Amino acid sequence: MFTALKPLILASASPRRQQFLRDFGLHFTCLPAEIDETPLAGEQPAAFARRMAAEKAGVIAAQHPASWVIGADTVVTIDGQIIGKPADAAHALEILRTLRGRTHQVITGMALLCQREGCAEILAESSEVAFAAFSDEVLAAYIRTGEPLDKAGAYGIQAKGAFLVESVRGSCSNVIGLPLSTCLALLLRHGLIAPKP
């Protein structure tokens, strides 16, 4: 659907983000960045997501100054608290109990950097996710599939965890890890991609 007109690098190991870009026919290099992902004292979730995206992109942009680097970081948050990946099955159950029957926010920070062109666009997009109220037995059965153990918020909306979600307000792809509408609009605006004729 699109052609990349300039060198693109995705500074992420996320298979879901990679697949999103591949689905649109974009050629890119995947170079995950290793950074400290610890929130600062008092740091708000949106600020944290933006900082993580910018730091990931910044590490790779410094190594490849002529390339355009996309960095992204997705956080799940409720009551102003960031909910990371569960440490184990018991922690996953604790997280899912916290989210059960309530609405939480999923925020993706995104950065587009190019050192040579002097570009540094950093933003955050938020979606609201309403969870159904399933029993502990159902949640435990889901945890036994193993899916929640490597997911922020202990669920994957793009797979089995979709059954937990009653509704999404905002971008659904944002919940998965990349706000596609915003991302593609940004790449188009900078002349980095073009529709295939």
Q: What is the DSSP string of 95-145?
A: HHHHHTTSEEEEEEEEEEEETTTTEEEEEEEEEEEEEP---HHHHHHHHHT
73 is catalytic: yes
Could you tell me which residues are beta bridge partners of residue 39? none
Nearest to 70 by CA among 6, 7, 10, 14: 10
Catalytic option among 23, 36, 73, 88:
73
Q: Judge whether 49 and 107 are in contact, CB under 8 Å.
A: yes
Strand partners, 82: 77
The answer to whether the CB of 22 falls within 8 A of the CB of 79 is: no
3-state helix, strand, coil in the chain (%, to 5): 40, 30, 35
Which contiguous run of DSSP H or E holds residue 70? strand 68-78
Residues designated as active site: 73
